[in-house]
Structure 1
Amino acid sequence: MPAIKDVAQRAGVSVATVSRVLNDHPAVRTDTRDKVLAAVADLGYRPNAVARSLRTHQTRALGLVISDVLNPFFTELARSVEDAARDRGYSVVIGNADERPDLQDHHVRTLVDRRIDGLLVSPTDGGSPLMLDAARTGTPMVFVDRWIEGEGLDEVPVVRTDGGAAVRDLVAHLHALGHRRLAIIAGPAATTTGRERVDAFRSALREFGLALPADHIGQGDFQADSGRRVTARFLDLPHPPEAIFAADNLMALGAMDEIRSRGLRVPDDVALAAFDDIPWFVHTDPPITAIAQPTGDLGHAAVGALIDRIEGRPAASVTLSARLVPRRSCGEPEGSTP
């Protein structure tokens, strides 16, 4: 395997000059750079990434810890992060926390030990001492989708979606369709997204003069089984809800399974809507009304903020907007929606 000294000899320059070219140093003449790159191509030379990281104190690798890789939202988010990072010359190492704080800590520890240049995290809960220590001791970090608060975390940018307006649009949509008894399958109260979506739903109901009784709030965990379990409880009530809003896509699918298992139909017997649109919602019967996040934009904005932090530039938090995508699972007229 050719070494850097072989490239230097072929190009007729010093090893130091080859190193400057490979590290994109601006103080290299164009003709010298061309000679070095030609020698690299001729010899098939590949720089030693480990050695380079020791010299430059950079690995050109980002860590991404996501809450659940089986959740289509996070799968799409991971892909957009990888695409954005690759465009900027970085690779991505992904850890799946599976909504478990202990696995989250394992991945944070492993990624920091591997000397990643920066860390993107969508926390599974209110945070952990390990993650807080990583942020406070100088690891460049950005929270994406979810975030945690605490002393020493004020400088950590948050890249997220504000779904409040879209949830209000959904409640207005349900109200216009004649639904008055509404219920929500909430996400974990320990997560910022879990709390925000319940608060937005309650506020929108209040605006339209609708109540949200305690038995119309069900605690889920962003997994399909919890959506099915909470829906079963809703349907067993003396006066079941006319419409169910699931605070994520997997819980919505669990809800639909429970509704169908009882021989009931969506939307004839109960309407169903979801937060976090996914591509196959258009293929369910009926297609599911959902709130869509700009997932690709989230990933690109998060990578941009993290690289700004890595390279010593100011990095601001970014808040994007979700939007309502009406289909036919809430009783919309046939052919009137996408």
Structure 2
Amino acid sequence: MANIKDVAERAGVSVATVSRVLNGRSPVPATREKVLAAVRELGYRPNVLARALRTARTRTLGLVISDLRNPFFTELADAVEQEARSLGYSLIIGNAGESPEQQDDQLRTLLDRRIDGLLVSSAGTGSAVLREVLAAHTPLVLLDRALPGLAAPCVRAEGSAALAELAAHLTALGRRRPAVIVAPAGTPTGDERLELFRTALAAHGVPLPDARVGSAPDLRPEGGRRVMRELLELPEPPDAVLATDNLMALGALDEIRARGLRVPGDVALVAYDDVAWFAHTDPPLTAVAQPTRELGRAAVHTLLERIEGREAPSVLLPARLVPRRSCGEQPTAQARGRGSA
């Protein structure tokens, strides 16, 4: 079996450099790639048991994800697992199912496994167990959802620029009655997305009254469909809807179709959180895309910094707008010229 000296010789670096890379502390990407390539070629596997006895570490990370049924979180968990594995760490995943109680059960289970650190995409607004994690000095990094009052770094996307672009896009298409299907009350990401979108619309002179904001009971298609039903029954129904979660957007699309209405002819539809198959729906759905895989990789490296006892700042990565046909298509310059003739 290959050992760490074999890896160092194959990569043309020192044993200390290999150790730094495997501990997630190599500052030079090219060096990191050389070492990881040597690890793969030689099939090197660290002696985890011996290392754990020397360092009181298990080379195992824990991840509690909000809801593995949501394709955004599924991809996020996959990105975390791949990055952790490339750095010599195992990952144990717990699914919170958007339930604070289930989240706490998963946290306790992971802590019992003697993990080296925790990544948490929180269900709800936090819990006493998360505060216990910090009090016990277990390295903790929040992922996707910041929690007010919890002193832990958070790795997440920031959507102000994408939502400003969306407001401009809808306004250019003549949509003047937007609505929002927001996550259950108190969900930090849903509240933030609502306020950012409202501010962006106001810059174009487009109001977003509370009557056109509906809070879903859950982050599932059924919740989105229920709110869409209520919005379409308003005296002045919306001509554009932003669902602040991808599964809620699918439920909204189902309700629009069930009423014999057309997307985008009768109402434009936008999802926050893009997934690959949105490009293949009918019509393809416009979406705000978060840099999912980059978030997962950044979260692992932030957690490893905390495990090594170093301060690690929060990380904000920009989301982006992916326009597709569910909002309508802007007229070309030639078509605009014909219309003004």
Q: Same fold (TM over 0.5)?
A: yes
Find the residue that maps to 2:326 and give its secondary structure: coil
Residues 305/335 of structure 1: CA separation in 2 closer, same or farther (3 Å cut): farther
Q: Does 1:197 align with 2:196?
A: no
One-letter code of the match for 1:307? L
Query: For residue 298 of structure 1, what is the aligned residue in structure 2?
Result: 295
Aligned pair partner of 2:172 in 160, 173, 176: 176
Residues 306/24 of structure 1: CA separation in 2 closer, same or farther (3 Å cut): closer
**Any residues of structure 2 matched to 1:93-132 within 5 Å, and which?**
93-132=92-131
Query: CA separation in 2, counterparts of 1:105 and 1:52?
Result: 29
One-letter code of the match for 1:246? A
- Shift of the alpha carbon at 1:210? 1.4
Q: What do residues 204-254 of structure 1 show as CA deviations (whole Å, max 9, x unaligned)? A: 121111111222000023211110000000111111000010001100000
Query: For residue 240 of structure 1, what is the aligned residue in structure 2?
Result: 237
One-letter code of the match for 1:160? R
Query: CA separation in 2, counterparts of 1:274 and 1:47?
Result: 43
Query: CA separation in 2, counterparts of 1:234 and 1:192?
Result: 23
Q: Which moved more, 1:82-91 or 1:204-213?
A: 204-213
One-letter code of the match for 1:225? E
TM-score by length of 2: 0.82
One-letter code of the match for 1:271? A
- Shift of the alpha carbon at 1:51? 6.2
One-letter code of the match for 2:59? R
- Shift of the alpha carbon at 1:50? 5.1
Query: For residue 217 of structure 1, what is the aligned residue in structure 2?
Result: 213
Asked whether the equivalents of residues 221 and 248 of structure 2 are also in contact (C-alpha less than 8 Å), the reply is yes
Q: Does 1:185 align with 2:189?
A: no
- Shift of the alpha carbon at 1:46? 8.4
Query: CA separation in 2, counterparts of 1:61 and 1:205?
Result: 45
Residues 91/45 of structure 1: CA separation in 2 closer, same or farther (3 Å cut): closer
Find the residue that maps to 2:241 and give its secondary structure: strand
Query: For residue 73 of structure 1, what is the aligned residue in structure 2?
Result: 72
- Shift of the alpha carbon at 1:314? 2.3
Query: CA separation in 2, counterparts of 1:205 and 1:333?
Result: 18
**Any residues of structure 2 matched to 1:1-338 within 5 Å, and which?**
49=48, 52-150=51-149, 153-154=150-151, 156-220=152-216, 221-333=218-330
Find the residue that maps to 1:268 and give its secondary structure: coil
Asked whether the equivalents of residues 222 and 247 of structure 1 are also in contact (C-alpha less than 8 Å), the reply is no
Query: For residue 336 of structure 2, what is the aligned residue in structure 1?
Result: none
Query: CA separation in 2, counterparts of 1:148 and 1:136?
Result: 16
Identity of matched residues, %: 58
- Shift of the alpha carbon at 1:268? 0.7
One-letter code of the match for 2:161? A
- Shift of the alpha carbon at 1:48? 7.2
Query: For residue 28 of structure 1, what is the aligned residue in structure 2?
Result: none
Q: How many residues align?
A: 298
Asked whether the equivalents of residues 65 and 104 of structure 1 are also in contact (C-alpha less than 8 Å), the reply is yes
TM-score by length of 1: 0.83
RMSD, matched Cα: 2.5
**Structure with bigger gyration radius:** 1
Q: What do residues 156-176 of structure 1 show as CA deviations (whole Å, max 9, x unaligned)? A: 111111011111110110000
Asked whether the equivalents of residues 263 and 327 of structure 2 are also in contact (C-alpha less than 8 Å), the reply is yes
Unaligned runs of at least 5 residues, structure 2: 4-14, 21-41, 334-341
